């Protein structure tokens, strides 16, 4: 068996069941494993620690499949996939919800393998050498466990370069998905594109937060910043919002948002679409003394790496400060960061500092996170990336 021998004292994270082993923790490798092949992991003293996938071109040289003496193969992957699917059944996810994350990488014991269901189609994203090595097996088991019309791959991820892999997009099995797939989310309808949408087609992680926004929107004037294809806007309008203004720099995204709002039978006079730089628009609203009852800030990642935390923090502070100045007394702010490098307490501090600079007193009502089909196992806290706050202006 091909083996990875750890340096003396570098087995602590493995003992805590953390799935990543960095190159600096490795003393030597025996047996010349190939890209993505399974290796045994041993301590410097020869104690067996488990089995993982070998990725020689990445700083994360091994991603653990198992911390026991379990053979890594079809039976192992079937068990992991079946366990993940069982977790997503009601009441965790509503029976009428047809857009679901089925497999969430490390959090479901399958590092680098993510799978979503959109209606009758499955979408896979593969980001690691190990998952890519077992791709055919994983997809074959997944389509057996979850009956579907087709399986599409969206592994157009820059991180694959660090794994020694190229991008891969296309049909893996079955029927080519239609250009637009309609899903139901707790009574809301959304049309999305598996082939061209962000991530795998839609931001499933915000499902619960969209529902919360909907429950708080009745008779309120809502500003949806970075609205993308209208996820929050649809929730606000179906929740009874008086009017929603959608801001986004992408014309095609706003066009899809328009279709999604219409898909739900909502009146044209209830919303306004604005293609604009969001920072610029917010400053213009401030100059014009334009105020709102509810504001949503769901920007793209401002922090792509730990080296960008300071720069990203300034951007988060700036946009939250201006948004607070646009809130009416008693208005709600829903603000988010989707960067895993932005820690929860730091994000809360940034929002608090923004309130001071805005001259506003804000009360935090809820701490928000990703939907339960994006679970976080205790041994892998990195699985929690989405954080948010619901705050009220006094």
CA dist., res. 229 & res. 202, Å (int): 9
Length of the chain equals: 394
338 in active site: yes
Give me the catalytic one of 124, 216, 225, 338.
338
3-state SS string for the chain: CCEEEECCCCCHHHHCCCCEEEHHHEEEEECCCCCCCEEEEECCCCCEEEEEEECCCCCEEEEEEECCCCCCCHHHHHHHHHHHHHHCCCCCCCCCCCEEEEEEHHHHCCCCEEEEEECCEEEEEECCHHHHHCHHHHHHHHHHHCCCCEEEEEECCHHHHHHCCCCEEEEEEECCCCCCEEEEECCEEEEECCCCCCCCCCCHHHHHHHHHHHHCCCCCEEEEECCCCCHHHHHHHHCCCCEEEEEECCHHHHHHHHHHHHHCCCCHHHEEEEECCHHHHHHHHHHCCCCEEEEEECCCCCCCCHHHHHHHHHHHHHHHHHHHHCEEEEEEEEEEECCCCCCHHHHHHHHHHHHHHHCCCEEEEEEEECCCCCCCCCCCHHHCCCEEEEEEEC
Q: What are phi and psi of 155, to 5 degrees?
A: -90, 50
Sheet with 99-104, strands from edge to edge, namely 99-104, 113-118, 121-126, 150-155, 168-174
Q: Which residues are catalytic?
A: 338
């Amino acid at each position: 068996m091909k083996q990875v021998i750890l340096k003396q004292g570098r087995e602590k994270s493995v003992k805590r069941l953390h799935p990543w082993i960095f190159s600096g923790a490795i003393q030597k490798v025996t047996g010349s494993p190939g890209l993505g092949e399974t290796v045994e992991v041993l301590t410097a003293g020869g104690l067996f620690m488990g089995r993982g996938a070998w990725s020689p071109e990445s700083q994360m040289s091994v991603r653990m499949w198992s911390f026991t003496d379990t053979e890594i193969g079809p039976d192992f992957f079937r068990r992991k996939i079946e366990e993940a699917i069982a977790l997503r059944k009601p009441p965790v996810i509503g029976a009428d919800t047809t857009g679901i994350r089925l497999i969430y990488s490390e959090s479901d014991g399958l590092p680098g393998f993510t799978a979503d269901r959109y209606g009758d189609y499955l979408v896979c994203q593969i980001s690691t050498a190990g998952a890519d090595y077992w791709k055919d097996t994983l997809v074959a088991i997944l389509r057996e466990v979850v009956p579907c019309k087709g399986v599409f791959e969206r592994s157009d991820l820059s991180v694959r370069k660090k794994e020694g892999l190229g991008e891969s997009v296309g049909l893996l099995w079955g029927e080519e998905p239609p250009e637009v797939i309609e899903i139901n989310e707790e009574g809301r309808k959304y049309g999305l594109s598996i082939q061209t949408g962000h991530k795998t087609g839609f931001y499933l992680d915000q499902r619960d937060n969209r529902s919360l926004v909907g429950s708080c929107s009745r008779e309120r004037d809502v500003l949806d910043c970075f609205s993308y294809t209208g996820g929050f806007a649809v929730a606000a309008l179906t929740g009874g919002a008086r009017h929603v203004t959608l801001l986004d720099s992408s014309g095609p995204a706003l066009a899809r948002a328009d279709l999604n709002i219409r898909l739900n039978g909502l009146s044209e006079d209830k919303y306004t679409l604005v293609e604009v730089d969001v920072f610029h628009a917010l400053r213009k609203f401030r100059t014009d003394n334009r105020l709102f009852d509810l504001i949503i800030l769901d920007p793209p990642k401002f922090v792509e790496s730990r080296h960008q935390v300071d720069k990203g923090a300034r951007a988060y502070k700036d946009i939250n400060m201006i948004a607070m100045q646009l809130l009416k007394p008693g208005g709600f702010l829903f603000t988010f960061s989707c960067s895993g490098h932005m820690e929860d307490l730091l994000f809360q501090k940034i929002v608090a500092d923004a309130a001071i600079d805005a001259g506003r007193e804000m009360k935090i009502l809820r701490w928000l996170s990703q939907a339960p089909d994006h679970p976080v196992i205790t041994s892998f806290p990195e699985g929690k990336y989405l954080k948010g706050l619901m705050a009220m202006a006094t």
